[in-house]
Structures are given as structure tokens and as C-alpha cells.
Amino acid sequence: MSDSERIIRLKTVLARTGLSRSTMYRKIAEGTFPCQVRISIHGAGWRESAVNQWIADPVGFRNEHADRP
């Protein structure tokens, strides 16, 4: 697995993005932040490549998989 395809957990995502937890989840709901990837029954993380894409262009990021009304 390449470094960009690693799954990173919540604390790492928050530290790298500088977002608060509530802001990050709001952005996920809006489709402006990468969605979580389920890694177990009670665990989830984010693809590092998707988080890196968001960091590179936070304003222009749109999540193609987000459910929008």
C-alpha cells in the first residue's frame, strides 16, 4: 500500500487540517470534505490521498460521493 493510500484516523486528520471535529463533520455533510472509509465495525478513517487533496485546495474540493439534496 502506497503512503497516499494509507488510512489515517481522526486525530491525525484533525491535526493535519487544523479543523475542529464539528467543523470537519459539517463539511463532510456538505460534501466539501472527504468522506470516511469504514475499516471495521466500530472504526473508520480517511484516505490520506483524499485528505491531501483537500489540504491542497480546500475551497475547490467537492466530494463526488456526498449525498446532496
Q: How far apart are CA 23 and CA 68, in angstroms?
A: 17
More confident residue, 4 or 42: 42
Which residues have CB under 8 Å from 21's CB, separation 6+?
Answer: 10, 14
> 38-69 pLDDT, tens per residue?
999 999 999 999 999 999 999 988 876 555 44
Q: For residue 28, is it within any domain? A: yes
Q: For residue 20, is it within any domain? A: yes
Q: For residue 33, is it within any domain? A: yes
Q: For residue 66, is it within any domain? A: no
pLDDT for 69 equals: 44
**Residue numbers of the domain that contains 46:** 3-56
Q: For residue 29, is it within any domain? A: yes
DSSP 18-44: ---HHHHHHHHHHTSSPPPEE-SSS-E
Q: Which helix (H) or strand (E) holds 15?
A: helix 10-17
pLDDT for 63 equals: 75
Q: For residue 68, is it within any domain? A: no
Domain count, the chain: 1
pLDDT for 66 equals: 53
> What share of the chain in percent tops pLDDT 70?
86
Q: For residue 39, is it within any domain? A: yes
